[in-house]
Structure 1
Amino acid sequence: MRFVTVLTVLVALGFASVFALATFVSPRTREMTVDIPSQRLKAQPVAAAAQPPAKTAGAEAGAGGASTTR
């Protein structure tokens, strides 16, 4: 019973500290600017985007094929 009481007190202190931080501390807001390189803004080639994703062994087994392993 003593262990449960000590554990309960520690958990209560933890929750109280998190609550106090959330209530009494306010974040500083500021404006943020992110530079994006122009290469990232270029359109992707259509041929590269149209390729189907490579199938894995798990995808082939889940696609309806009979599984031989048990």
Structure 2
Amino acid sequence: MPTLFRFLFICAVIAGSIYGIMVALVTFVEPSEREVTIRIPSERVNPPQ
């Protein structure tokens, strides 16, 4: 039985650290906005017939 408790404790620590990392990313990382332009060749839009 102690092995099960140790396993569950390790899983809880891993899940808690992942949750903490996600909260830190949401709190401290600010995404930067920029304009995106994608050029599409006219041959792909209007294929020759």
TM-score (norm 2): 0.71
Residue identity matched to 2:21: S
Aligned to 1:19: 23
Higher RCO structure (Cα 8 Å, ≥6 apart): 1
Structure 2 unmatched runs, 5+: none
Flag the structure with higher helix content: 2
- 2:32 partner SS: coil
CA shift for structure 1 position 28: 1.1
Provide the residue aligned with 2:12 in structure 1. 8
Q: What amino acid is aligned across from residue 21 of structure 1 in structure 2?
A: L
Pair member with larger Rg: 1
**Structure 1 alignment gaps of length 5 or more:** 46-70
Q: Which runs of 4+ in 1 moved over 6 A?
A: none
Kindly, what percent of the aligned residue pairs are identical?
Answer: 36
